[in-house]
Chains A and B, each alone.
Chain A
Amino acid sequence: MRLPELKSEYIWAVMMIFFLIPAIHPIGLPFPMDPVTYEVYNIIESLPEGSIVVMGGGGVFAFDLESSAGMIAMIKQMARKGLRLVTCPVWTEAPQFHKYVIDAARVDKDKYGGPWEYGVDYVLLPYMPGGDMVVFDSFLKDVHATVSVDLAGTPIDELPLMQDLHDYHDIALWICPHWGFVSVIRIVAAQYGITCISPAQSTAYAFFSPFMEAYPGKVYMLNGYVGGAQYEALVGIKGLGHKVMDSYAFASTLIVLFIVLGNITMLSRMGGEEE
């Protein structure tokens, strides 16, 4: 029997249905935990209260949204632990992304009644042009010489948090929720020895995860929405990672099934040709 070739429209329709079903009725499929996710959680958990963490890097907002699942959970954990956060955006859309994840974590005292006060516990810095590695190097050498105002145009010398941040000695951890993690590894981890974590999108993870082997104990990555969902589970929230996990599982399974079906179709048609 010769199986017919499926039209693309039918495949798209099936995909759409299997995307929408879990979005409307979440099933809560289980997912395994990766050891790296535990390690990252414990690194942040072990930082002393008041430590300064930098969220820095560059990427395109739409791509980086996948990183936001893990990043938002990390921000919640940092706020709960009493850590402090400063941003270092080096691509034009990064400041908006940083503002988005901090807003989405709902940790601001004035806006959401959270534990973080702007200027004291976290500072949003503006886009710093000049190229990733150049800016990182300059930022780590002398923060105040690299940037002089925050997002709102307030001189950073007037912000209490920035008076404790002068150079790389004051930074306990660097988190990069962006595609451009390699520049961070080359400068922040390799040159200045600061531990770097990236809640990465899954494509970036596939490209850059070998750096974890190259810099053991210095570079850590979470794998896309899967890693985000794992981190959310550790922090005790159900955010974007959990929401997309069912769709993710269905889509991945369907892709494998369609590959198998394509091969069965090919075999059936080969048989038909011989007849």
Chain B
Amino acid sequence: MSTTLAYIRAYIGRIVVVVCCLGILAGYYFTSPTVGGVSDELYTWNMCISSFTLFVGLITIFSRYGRSIINRDTNWPFHLYCLVLIIIWIPFGFHYGIYADLYQTAYLSTKITLHIAILGLLIFFMTSALYRTFRIRSLRTAVLTFLAVVMIFLNAPYLRSYFPTAGDIAYWLLNNPQMSGARAMVLCGGIGGIILGIRILLGHEKGALRVTGGM
């Protein structure tokens, strides 16, 4: 690709991003019906593009896993298993409808049940891990163990009925230290996001929108 074409492509990408970002942002700050119309239209486009990405994801899985199966890469049998399941489930969904009772029953009996089983296994690993790791060797581990036990009490109604204060301590911990820490993280993330957004719009960030980058 010539340098000129590369520049044009990069600039078109940046112009699209800038126009869309400003279009959505304007919808928040101006009450003009025209601005609102543009903002709503961009929302609709966003939904259409998001739907399309599901389809792109399907093609990507077939492409990558298909290559993996042909080349007999590591884990290729699992990739084959995945593709077979997709091939079975898509016509099944098309034929019966993905919200039909039969599809729902099959979905609950297979994917959801297996997923729940995987999640359920965590409690066993967690218990053996807690037995080994929550050993009070220092002040820090003592604090960590105390906090963990208090939170367990919060979710253990039987224990809480004997030690009601544990529930109060747990709520205090959630509503004060936890909330302040979580808010600090959210604020940092938000400010970082704004700075990143400005850098992207101005072309200072490396990646697809940097006109002179990666050429």
User: A residues touching B (Cβ–Cβ < 8 Å)?
Assistant: 5-6, 8, 11-12, 15-16, 29-32, 60-63, 65, 92, 95-96, 99-100, 103, 124, 126, 128-131, 134-135, 137-138, 141-142, 145, 151-152, 202, 206-207, 209-210, 213-214, 223-224, 226, 229, 245, 248-249, 251-256, 258-259, 261-263, 266
Contacts and interface: CB of A to CB of B under 8 A. Distances in A.
A259 B134 contact: yes
B157 interface: yes
B47 A262 contact: no
A25 B151 CA distance: 27
A223 B153 CA distance: 13
Contacts of A100: 104, 108
A224 B160 CA distance: 15
A266 B107 CA distance: 46
B98 to A, nearest CB: 8
A151 to B, nearest CB: 4
Nearest to B145: A259
Interface stretch (B59-67, B125-133, B203-211): B125-133
Given A210-B174, A223-B154, A32 B164 contact: yes
Contacts of A62: 112, 115-116, 118-119
Contacts of B124: 11-12, 15-16
Given A96-B108, A253-B159, 10 more contacts: A62-B116, A128-B47, A137-B43, A214-B179, A226-B157, A252-B152, A258-B128, A259-B149, A261-B131, A262-B131
Nearest to B132: A262
Contacts of B104: 96, 99-100, 103
B159 A99 contact: no
Contact of A262 (B108, B134, B158, B160): B134
A85 B124 CA distance: 38
B134 A224 contact: no
Contacts of B165: none
Contacts of A266: 135-137
Contact of A263 (B40, B107, B135): B135
B40 A138 contact: yes
Nearest to A27: B158
A32 B166 CA distance: 13
Contacts of A255: 126-127, 130, 152
B161 interface: yes
Nearest to B134: A259
B139 interface: no
A28 to B, nearest CB: 11
B15 interface: no
B212 interface: no
Contacts of B157: 29-32, 226, 229, 245, 248-249
Contacts of B118: 62
Interface in B89-132: 97-99, 104, 107-108, 112, 115-116, 118-119, 123-124, 126-128, 130-132
